[in-house]
Amino acid sequence: MRAMSTHSTTDNSVPKRRRGYADTARLYVRSGSGGMGGASYGGTGGDGGGIILRAKRCGMPLVKRVQAENGGNSSRKGGVRGVSAKDVVVDIPVGTVVSIEQEAGDGAVGIVGGNTAEESTGVGKNSGKMHLLDECIRDDGSKGFDMDKEGQTLMVAKGGRGGSIQTQDYNPERGVRRVIKLELKSIADIGLVGFPNAGKSTLLTLMSDAKPAIGSYPFTTLRPQIGVVHYDNNLDGGTILETGTSVSSGDLGQQANTDNPSTAHTQYTTVQLPRSPIKIADIPGIIEGASENVGMGHKFLRHIERTKGLVFVVDVNGFSLNVDDTHRSAAVCLEQLVNELARYSDGMLLTKPCIIVVNKIDTLEYSDKLASAIPDTSVDPDETHFKTSMFEKLPHINEEMSDIDSSATSGDVTTNTGDELRLKELYEDIRELSTGAGLLVHSIVPLSAHTGLGRDRLKRALRAICEDTSGDDWDNEN
């Protein structure tokens, strides 16, 4: 069995928390050519190293080029059998679709034969057979493969076989050079995470056309549901595209006189492009201990691994699983959720931008006034990119916003109610937690999935997250 070396994305030096989640990547791969055989004494050259992709729970590889060594030549003195080169293994995220973007060179491409994958490496011992990209033909005739199971391996460039009695004139086969395209499949743009009963499915119903089951008992949702949030151009602001038309100045509405620019002027029509809809995944509730497989366990978190962002949904009144269970405040629920997510796949879910929805705000006194006291940070994605937590820019609710009772509930409410204090405290707790955990919080959205209060703010925040150019830029910024 041949040795292998690994280009693991977990080995690089980019800090875990700030690594971006690029959806696509290109990888130039070059497998090694075989070594020369020895015609006069029947010697066999070593095989060239191959390039293998392995599905793991990780980000896209940061390397752009991967090259394997050539096999050693056969020699009377050094060894009748030349030394075979190591295969190179590159880890890529589970859920990546691999295809060939470009073949490089001429005769170097598509060499059939060479070492078989099973022989060449010990990779994927527990993950079944190694797949060979050259043998994975899609319906449209192109070569491509979906890496959707953890541990799956795919040989994307085979090493050339060493020259031997079986090859013409003992000449070796050459390696393969090609550009491989890696694309992450995504089931949804946004994932909802929260304790059971927080109102995730009710929120999905409010925001989208989905009709998930809703129940006043924990674990109503048993499998992921997808809802599509549509954006109305007039209400939600479509992209304005300006198109120019040259029109003869003395003859508006007639044929444009483009031959004589002095008499022509430009008229603009504005066109609103529709905002693309956003897909939201509602998954079963998570409770503390999920990483040890309590409740529904982590089974469903993989459905939100490939989203652009997360929405943490907490019930403003907190949560208890049953009457005998300890009651947890909304802030404690959020903390436990964050802890559970941190234990999942090295905390990769916490690298995504997120929104924190404080749901069931309608159960508070003066809910709409209280809701407006929480600053709206749903910036237009065209104007600003948020690469760090918005909380770093948000005011402390006590300092700059003075008191909720004067700024938000002026008029009919003059004193702090218990609800006001609770919301203030929650805001500060969330700020502390998100700063401590390094969350990329876009905003806190006070919401009532029942009455629709906060719906537009959430829509804007979702759009800001989805339209923000994520990915590699984040690495450079942080």
Residues that bind ligand GTP in the complex, under the rule CB under 6 A = 194, 196-202, 214-216, 218-221, 284-285, 359-360, 362-363, 448-450
In the list 33, 73, 197, 221, the residue contacting Mg ion (rule: CB under 5 A) is 221
Residues 6+ apart with CB under 8 A from 56: 8, 9, 10, 91, 92, 93, 94, 150, 151
Q: Please, what is the minimum distance in Å from the beta carbon of residue 312 to Mg ion?
A: 14
Instruction: Give the nearer residue to Mg ion in terms of CB position, either 219 or 231.
Output: 219
Q: Please, what is the minimum distance in Å from the beta carbon of residue 146 to ligand GTP?
A: 29
Instruction: Give the nearer residue to ligand GTP in terms of CB position, either 180 or 449.
Output: 449
DSSP SS3 for 471: coil
- Residue 442's closest CA among 318, 357, 369, 348? 357
Q: Please, what is the minimum distance in Å from the beta carbon of residue 201 to Mg ion?
A: 3
Q: Please, what is the minimum distance in Å from the beta carbon of residue 136 to Mg ion?
A: 37
Instruction: Give the nearer residue to ligand GTP in terms of CB position, either 176 or 445.
Output: 445
The two structure tokens encoding residue 50? 């191959």
Q: Among ligand GTP, Mg ion, none, what binds residue 197 when CB lies within 5 to 8 Å by partner kind? A: ligand GTP
- Residue 194's closest CA among 185, 204, 184? 204
Q: Please, what is the minimum distance in Å from the beta carbon of residue 215 to Mg ion?
A: 7
Count of residues in the chain: 478
Instruction: Give the nearer residue to ligand GTP in terms of CB position, either 44 or 205.
Output: 205
Q: Among ligand GTP, Mg ion, none, what binds residue 215 when CB lies within 5 to 8 Å by partner kind? A: ligand GTP
Q: Please, what is the minimum distance in Å from the beta carbon of residue 426 to ligand GTP?
A: 15
Q: Among ligand GTP, Mg ion, none, what binds residue 218 when CB lies within 5 to 8 Å by partner kind? A: ligand GTP
Q: Please, what is the minimum distance in Å from the beta carbon of residue 478 to ligand GTP?
A: 32
Instruction: Give the nearer residue to ligand GTP in terms of CB position, either 198 or 439.
Output: 198
Say how far apart CA 354 and CA 442 lie, in whole Å. 6
Residues 6+ apart with CB under 8 A from 423: 316, 358, 364, 370, 373, 374, 404, 446
Say how far apart CA 32 and CA 273 lie, in whole Å. 49
Tally Cβ neighbours within 10 Å of residue 322: 7
Instruction: Give the nearer residue to ligand GTP in terms of CB position, either 305 or 362.
Output: 362
What is the Cα 174 distance to its own chain's centre? Answer: 37
Q: Is 220 in the site for Mg ion (CB under 5 A)?
A: yes
Say how far apart CA 31 and CA 69 lie, in whole Å. 7
Interaction with Mg ion in 438-477: which residues (CB under 5 A)?
none
Instruction: Give the nearer residue to ligand GTP in terms of CB position, either 108 or 333.
Output: 333
Instruction: Give the nearer residue to ligand GTP in terms of CB position, either 146 or 362.
Output: 362
CA atoms within 13 A on the CB side of 82: 33
User: Dmax of the chain from CA atoms?
Assistant: 102
* Residue showing the smallest CB distance to ligand GTP in the complex: 285
**Parallel/antiparallel/unpaired status of strands 353-359 and 190-194:** unpaired
Q: Please, what is the minimum distance in Å from the beta carbon of residue 122 to ligand GTP?
A: 42
Interaction with Mg ion in 172-211: which residues (CB under 5 A)?
200-201
Q: Say if residue 310 is exposed, middle or buried (CB neighbours under 10 Å; 0-12, 13-18, 19+).
A: buried
Q: Please, what is the minimum distance in Å from the beta carbon of residue 431 to ligand GTP?
A: 23
Among the candidate windows 187-195, 221-229, 247-255, 332-340, which touches Mg ion by CB under 5 A?
221-229
* Residue 155 phi, psi dihedral angles, 5° rounding: -85, 115
- Residue 356's closest CA among 330, 380, 379, 381? 330
Instruction: Give the nearer residue to ligand GTP in terms of CB position, either 284 or 309.
Output: 284
Q: Among Mg ion, ligand GTP, none, what binds residue 414 when CB lies within 5 to 8 Å by partner kind? A: none
Q: Among Mg ion, ligand GTP, none, what binds residue 359 when CB lies within 5 to 8 Å by partner kind? A: ligand GTP
- Residue 298's closest CA among 333, 348, 335? 348
Binding letters toward Mg ion, positions 349-388, x by CB under 5 A: ----------------------------------------
Instruction: Give the nearer residue to ligand GTP in terms of CB position, either 38 or 218.
Output: 218
Buried b or exposed e, range 111-123, using 16+ CB within 10 angstroms = beebbebeebbeb
What are the residues binding Mg ion (CB under 5 A)?
200-201, 220-221
